[in-house]
Structure formats: C-alpha cells, structure tokens
Amino acid sequence: MESTSCTPAGCRVADVICRTIELGLSITGAQIGADDRTIIEARPVQVLGFCPGCGAEGRLRDHVIRELTDIPVAGHPTRLHVRVPRFVCIGPECPRKVFQAQLEAAEAGAKTTRRCRKWILARLAIDKMSVRAVATALGLGWDLVNQLAVDTARSLIYDDPSHLDRVRILGVDEHCWKHVRGQGEENFATILVDLTPAIEQAGPSRLLDVRAGRSAKVLTQWLDERDHAFRDRIQVVTMDGFAGYHTATRTSLPEATPVMDPFHVVQLAGQKVTGCRQRLQQEILGHRGRKDDLLYRGRRTLLTRQSLLNQRGTDQLERLFAEREEHIALEISYLAYQEVIDAYQHPDLRTGHRLMTALIDKLRRGLPDGLDELAQLGRTLWRKRDQILAFFDHGGASNGPVEAINGRLEHLRGIALGFRNFTHYVLRCLLHSGQLAARINAL
C-alpha cells in the first residue's frame, strides 16, 4: 500500500486525534495495510541514548522499525511502525555492544503498547466483551489477548505495592474449577483471598489470585513470590483442615497464626454424628436407612442446632434417644456436636474459647466403649487444637468470606457452561471477585 506522509501541522493534528502524544511518539506517516489494518508510522519525540547496562551515553549506529499493536483507530486494527534509533555502547567495560532506545509507549520486547493492554482489560471488565471480540478488534490471536489480560490484571494487584499494603489476614481454600472424571488433581486450584476488609468490617473481601493445584508446594511458591514486607504483614491465615496449607503457612509465614475455619470444625463434628447414626443403623437393623426407620428419619434433625428446633423436632429427638438403649451413643455424640456449635456461637470470644477448650479436654481424657466416632473427633480436635482455638484469639477470623467467593466462582463457572482454559478461568475469576473495577476505571 502507498504511504502518506504528514506536514508538520498535519502531524500535530494527527498526534492529537490518534493520541500518540500520550505515547511519547510523533506521527510521520500512515497507510492502510493488509487485512484492513491502519499502519501509523511514527518516531520517538525524545530519545535517551544511554546504555541500560552501564549507563554510558552511546553513539548512534542506525535505526530499526519496531512494530507495536495499539488501540483501534476508527474501528480498525492499528499497528505502530516506530523508527527507533540504535546505539553503540562506548563504555570500556560494558559487555553490551549495541542497544536500542527505550520507548515510553511499551516495555522492552513487548509487542503491544501499554495503553493497549489497559484497553483490553477495560473492554473485558467494563464493557463485558468476550476475548474473541477484543482479539478481532485488535487483529490479534485469542490466546495472546487472553494472556495479556491476565498479566495486566495481576499487575494491578502485584505491581502496585499499595494494593497489598493492608493485607493482614489471608484466606486459603481449594477450589474445583472443572468437573472432569479421571483428571483428579488437575480439576483443583488454590484460591487466595484478602480477608482484612471483611474481618475489620471495612469492605468486602477480594480475590488475590488463583493457582493451579492444591498442595503445600502451590501455596509455598505463591508466598515465596511475594516480598518480605508482604509476608511480615500477614498475621493470620485462615484455612480448612487440609494439612498441606498448614505446612506451607508454617514454612513460609512462621510468625503468622493458622486458623482452622469454624465451618469445617462444625462439619467435622456433624460427620461424626452421621457416622454414629449409620453405624447403629447397621448394627441394630442390619440394613441401610429406610423411610420408616426412626434413625433415618432423624438424620436432618440431628444436624440442626438445638435452639433452632421446633416442637416437632424436639419430640422426634426425644423418641429417637429413648427408643433403644444403644441410642445413648448417638445422644452423647449429638450433645458434643451441639457443644461445638455453642462454643462458636457464643457472643463472647473468651467464653467461647473456654467452652471449646473444655470440650477438647473432655474428649481427650478418654471415652467409654461404643463412642468410636466421638473418640475420633476428640483425637482430631486435640491434634488441631492450636488452629481451632486461634479463631477465638484473633477476633473471630474465619474462612467464611473465602467460602463465599468460592461459591461465587462456582456460579461463574456454571453460567459459562464450564471452562477448559485455566488461564482464561483465572482472568474471569479476577475480574469477577478481585475488586479491580475502580483500578480498571482509573487506567
């Protein structure tokens, strides 16, 4: 295609219209290239010929054309052909012989301008465009646009130190990002959430990152990528009972306190009640629960908090516990389950701490025969007592907001009819729950 050059006055007008002045470039010409692309020829307004290795001023050697993808102009994909000078380094001890002048418009080695990356993220997050639509508008491939968006979203979190300055309470949880049989661990990811605003009642929690896999190695690697200042600020890490996350926290954050989430402790106690009921069902009746069996009919009532039971539920439990002498084991397990709930629900954390400590000690001292499930619960609570009691010592910090974000991500996956590309899934998760809207609007 034929190139059109600019007069000095015309170039100044073109610089304003195309806003290349923001990039530190001045337009020298333009043409319509292949695939209906707009090609803008430009040069740097200011050239600093200092060697990035030794800092010495270089001697002009020649010029090269650097091609950069920029935001669309008049609805057409745009390419900047920038005439960039190259220099010879005259530093006597510098191993670098030739270097290229750095541009304000783009990072070294990048194929897109800085503002193009911001434009991509804004179109995806604010205008709700698909990656395919954005890629078509720029004349780029889907994979490249998706990766640029993920990198830009993460840069909003990690490149700005102030964005992580207030993170003191970190939430960690496993997340199933796809349901495919036979892939096992490949279906799971680790989500990391800033709980500080939620615990301090200063705002909603926010998703910091999603990493493939669920293991101590995944969490350790993520923590080690952060600087010492960030790790030193973390005071509490909330999690479920997974030993891998606890190990990673102890290794990378020795000064932080791991807290086992109350939901999982209550769930664990409830599982023991259910296990006791199912064992008695088999021992007494010799078969699984049927609709006319009193043990089976009370399965949901047994997992309901005592203060929330209506008269019908109370009567049902009384009949269940009085039906057979063997049901005494189920009644004791049920009462222990209620004690766990009461400890967490007590409005005074000190009193809750005392109640939970008393329960753990009681279960630890030894139980009569026939309370196998309750004995298992006692051993688990004793082994994890420091993580469990830390909840009461740190203002009630829990993994509840993490579970809420986990549920929102499950919904996101559902309305998208599933994801196959993990990188794309991470992008959508960050845009959905990363609280990045204000920062994207400010780009």
Cα angle vertex 266, ends 377, 192, to 5°? 110
- Residue 80 CB neighbours (<10 A): 26
**Residue range 222-270, pLDDT digits in tens:** 999 988 989 999 999 999 888 899 999 999 999 999 999 999 999 999 9
Per-residue burial over 190-201, b if 16 or more Cβ lie within 10 Å, else e, is bbbbbbbbbbee
Please report which confidence band the pLDDT of residue 11 belongs to, taking 50, 70 and 90 as the band edges. Answer: confident
**Residue range 15-43, pLDDT digits in tens:** 788 888 888 898 988 888 878 899 999 99
User: What is the gyration radius of the CA atoms in the chain, in angstroms?
Assistant: 31
Please report which confidence band the pLDDT of residue 10 belongs to, taking 50, 70 and 90 as the band edges. Answer: low
Q: Give the C-alpha separation, 160 to 91, whole Å.
A: 34
Please report which confidence band the pLDDT of residue 280 belongs to, taking 50, 70 and 90 as the band edges. Answer: very high
3 has pLDDT over 70: no
Position 224 scores a pLDDT of 92
Q: Give the C-alpha separation, 135 to 80, whole Å.
A: 17
Q: Please state, for a pLDDT cut of 70, what percent of the chain lies above it.
A: 97
Q: Give the C-alpha separation, 125 to 422, whole Å.
A: 18
Position 369 scores a pLDDT of 84
342 has pLDDT over 90: yes
Q: What is the 3-state secondary structure (H, E, C) of the chain?
A: CCCEECCHHHHHHHHHHHCHHHHCEEEEEEEECHHHCEEEEEEECCCCCECCCCCCECEEEEEEEEEEEEEEECCEEEEEEEEEEEEECCCCCCCCCEEECCCCCCCCCCCECHHHHHHHHHHHHCCCCCHHHHHHHHCCCHHHHHHHHHHHHHHHHHCCHHHHCCCCEEEEEEEECCCCCCCHHHHEEEEEEECHHHHCCCCCCEEEEEEECCCHHHHHHHHHHCCHHHHHHCCEEEECCCHHHHHHHHHHCCCCEEEECHHHHHHHHHHHHHHHHHHHHHHHHCCCCCCCCHHHHCCCHHHCCHHHCCHHHHHHHHHHHHHCHHHHHHHHHHHHHHHHHHHHHCCCHHHHHHHHHHHHHHHHCCCCCCCHHHHHHHHHHHHCHHHHHHHHHCCCCCCHHHHHHHHHHHHHHHHCCCCCCHHHHHHHHHHHHCCCHHHHHCC
Position 323 scores a pLDDT of 87
Please report which confidence band the pLDDT of residue 9 belongs to, taking 50, 70 and 90 as the band edges. Answer: low
418 has pLDDT over 90: no
127 has pLDDT over 60: yes
* Domain 161-261+398-441, CATH: 3.30.420
The pTM for the full model equals 0.77
The structural domains of the chain, with segments of one domain joined by +, span 1-108, 161-261+398-441, 262-393
In the chain, the amino acid numbered 16 is: V
**Residue range 50-86, pLDDT digits in tens:** 888 788 888 889 999 999 999 998 889 999 999 999 9
Chain-centroid distance, C-alpha 119: 23
Please report which confidence band the pLDDT of residue 303 belongs to, taking 50, 70 and 90 as the band edges. Answer: very high
